Chain A
Amino acid sequence: MTTPTTPKKPRSLSFRTVAQLVALAIADAAISLWVGRQAYLWMPPQASAEAVLVDDLFGFLTTIGSFIFLGVTTALLYSVLFQRADKYDISDGPPVEGNLLVEILWTTIPLGLVIWIATYSYQIYDQMAILGPMEHMNHVPQLGLMPPAEAATLPAVPERTPIEVHVRQWAWEFRYPDQNIVSTELHLPVNERARLKLISEDVLHGFYVPAFRVKQDVIPGSTIDFGFMPIREGRYRLRDSDYSGTYFAANQGVVVVESEEAYQQWLADAAAQPLTEADNRAFREFTKLGDRPISAGWKTVEPAPPPRVNFASSEEDSYE
């Protein structure tokens, strides 16, 4: 073939093609916005201010992600359905080697997009301030598709001593220093910033309450200050989120968010209780020998004895 490089293509797209592309893009955007709204339904209840922020971010990411996923797969599907070679056609397609403009566009547009996503995520993280407030370099206006959440203006926090969260293989234990209470259920007053000190007594664990959307590894050898803002009364699941050995999956607990009055009442009641042994699933399973599924008889790290507490709850207790 001696023809000069690429065959001549019409430089300007026809009106029809442009209209079709615009219509497709609008349809894609509409569907994606709808999917982004559904994203809220896939999450646990929004029990903290952080949950509201994270869900907005997730809705935004889902919208953009759906737009790209739908756009690309539709193009591929169209090719697969309508651009097949006939059975005995062994000729080649058009020798299009590239298009500089298109390539520059699909490099710079995603670049802008991820900078947008990262900046918006930065702002959300800054507002969450789960490890304490970050230093602000500058104040960029709020990005994203959703209006800024009210969580930005948190009420001033009355000083209370942080609650100590002790975790070990395999139990959670909460200590309220002011009242000298030990509990295996974490009680928190609603609409007030919870302040915790995370302490691990052996290996890595993770403090994770899905309804709050917050998570933090607990590192042996250091105490981590952690905080978030419960905004909805209820009982929620606490899970160990960093693999901690044999009974990792059983290392769960319950967090109770309640009104200030109920919280004070609970503190008073608990303080009046003597220390008793809490129920502990890991220890229970470990001691219930002979009652095991297929076992190789491998030796395991032994669970610590059940905590002795003023107020006990069990992994089996109900939660939302």
Chain B
Amino acid sequence: MSIWERLLKIDRKIIFVVMAVLVLFPLLKPLGLGVSSGPRAKAVFDAVDAIPPGKTLLISVDFDPASMPELYPMLVALMRHAFARDVKVLLCGLWITGAGLADKAVTEIPPEYGKEYGKDVVYLGWKAGVDAVILGMGENIKNVFPVDYYGHPLDSLPMMQDVVRLRDIPFMVAISAGTPGFGDWLLYGQSRYGLRVGAGVTAVSAADAYPYLQTGQLTGLLAGMKGAAEYEVLVAKKGYSKAYMPGVAAMDSQSLAHLVILILVVLGNVAFFATRMKRR
């Protein structure tokens, strides 16, 4: 058996081990490759930056624990950005599996900036019926969510006195791992109520969001871990946060993972064509 044939029959466990080592290594010893911010992440950042202090940023937590590594850093960075500028944050979710993740962010992030629940941040929770939820929020948020995630009546929360319907919200970011997600916010929130929408999506679904960016329906886009890292860098550059940046830290691992896959594909092709030529 030639070296090329052996290479073609390489045990997949070896590939798994190589991948595991190269992904873990930068997490233990960061390579510091650095992240530069693209125009789409900058557009989301600028839109949040343009919200006047005292007004509200809506964040829809439309993901589950599977996509948490890519999308949760976006949620955290967005909240830090908003709180640093005294912008209020209203959270809701179209995925029931995202409810606990939003709760985690609401519990952990506001205290960093001395923000109070009910006054500076409110988490509405999850309700069934995607289109009805968004359309209902367009008319009156209290009709859809009479109480928040923690059971407080919305009337008892000072922040909700100024936020009655979607038109009271200058900008929203839908952090989506699929459907329902930013598409539903565009379809019902933007087309009917003129809500400005930005999106944060997983890397694999970024291509789905591109057409909406070019038409201007989406204000900006955070795509995958890179999008999260780009936003973290922008927030840190402006001095809004000095906290640990998980997205940036994970980009080294992702870089090596991409390199491993590319090298393996090249090796596989070279071995494939070498054995084919030999047979001829």
**Do these two chains interact?**
no
